[in-house]
């Protein structure tokens, strides 16, 4: 089956919401769903929030589709300066892949495309924050050329969660897997 990377559409909002909640809960709700987590998910990942993001020209959402099934997405904000390096204005706010689709190179393809988009908007590398306890994501980003440039605490329900700030431009592999790209200018 062919993987297609394309710009997200308003009609994708419900799928984006479901995927975001599933990945976030699987990654961070190891103790269960608290009221703070439920409120955060509702406020952050509801379908109307994705429609708002899609209408914002400073936010770019790319979906990874296999036929009509959403497997992952990347969300860039082109006007979100990094706390540790204000000269880096493009933040990779989200890179989520369904667990059963991980290990297939989808995250790498989305990261490479996001890096290209960041360079087109600012001629600088992208930056992102990642939970300091998310060893799998940290390893993925470091393996793809991003380096730690700082730290900050994410606040949720009155609790502080250490996050790492990473930045860089992932290099293209010598023999990249080539997904079908649609909805982007060449």
Confidence band of 30 (pLDDT split at 50, 70, 90)? confident
Pairing of strands 3-7, 180-182: parallel
Confidence band of 172 (pLDDT split at 50, 70, 90)? low
When mean pLDDT is compared over 85-94, 152-161, 165-174, the highest value belongs to: 85-94
Rounded Cα distance between 17 and 47, Å, is: 5
Average pLDDT for 43-60: 96
Q: What is the pTM of this model?
A: 0.88
Neighbours of 84 (CB within 10 A): 17
Domain positions in the chain:
3-182
User: How distant, in Å, are the alpha carbons of 76, 146, 176, 185 from that of 143?
Assistant: 20, 7, 15, 28
Q: Which residue has the higher pLDDT, 172 or 65?
A: 65
Rounded Cα distance between 86 and 5, Å, is: 29
pLDDT of residue 157: 84
The structure tokens listed for 98 are 């369904």
Residue whose token pair is 């700030």: 165
When mean pLDDT is compared over 50-59, 96-105, 152-161, the highest value belongs to: 50-59
> In this model, does residue 17 exceed pLDDT 50?
yes
Edge-to-edge strands of the sheet including 91-97?
Answer: 147-156, 159-168, 126-131, 91-97, 69-77, 59-66, 3-7, 180-182
Confidence band of 178 (pLDDT split at 50, 70, 90)? very low
pLDDT of residue 180: 46
Q: Which CATH superfamily is domain 3-182 in?
A: Gcn5-related N-acetyltransferase (GNAT) (3.40.630.30)
């Amino acid at each position: 089956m062919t993987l297609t990377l394309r710009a997200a559409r308003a009609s994708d909002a419900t799928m984006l919401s479901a995927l975001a909640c599933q990945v976030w809960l699987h990654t961070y709700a190891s103790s269960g769903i608290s009221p703070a987590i439920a409120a955060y998910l509702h406020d952050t990942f509801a379908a109307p929030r994705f429609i708002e993001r899609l209408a914002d020209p400073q936010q770019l959402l790319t979906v990874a589709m296999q036929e009509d099934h959403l497997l992952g997405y990347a969300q860039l904000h082109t006007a979100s300066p990094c706390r540790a390096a204000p000269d880096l204005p493009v933040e990779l706010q989200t890179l989520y892949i369904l667990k059963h689709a991980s290990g297939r190179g989808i995250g790498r393809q989305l990261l490479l495309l996001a890096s290209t988009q960041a360079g087109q908007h600012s001629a600088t590398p992208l930056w992102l924050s990642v939970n300091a306890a998310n060893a799998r994501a940290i390893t993925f980003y470091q393996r793809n050329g991003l380096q730690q440039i700082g730290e900050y605490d994410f606040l949720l329900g009155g609790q502080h969660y250490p996050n790492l700030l990473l930045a860089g431009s992932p290099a293209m592999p010598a023999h990249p897997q080539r997904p079908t790209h649609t909805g982007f200018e060449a």
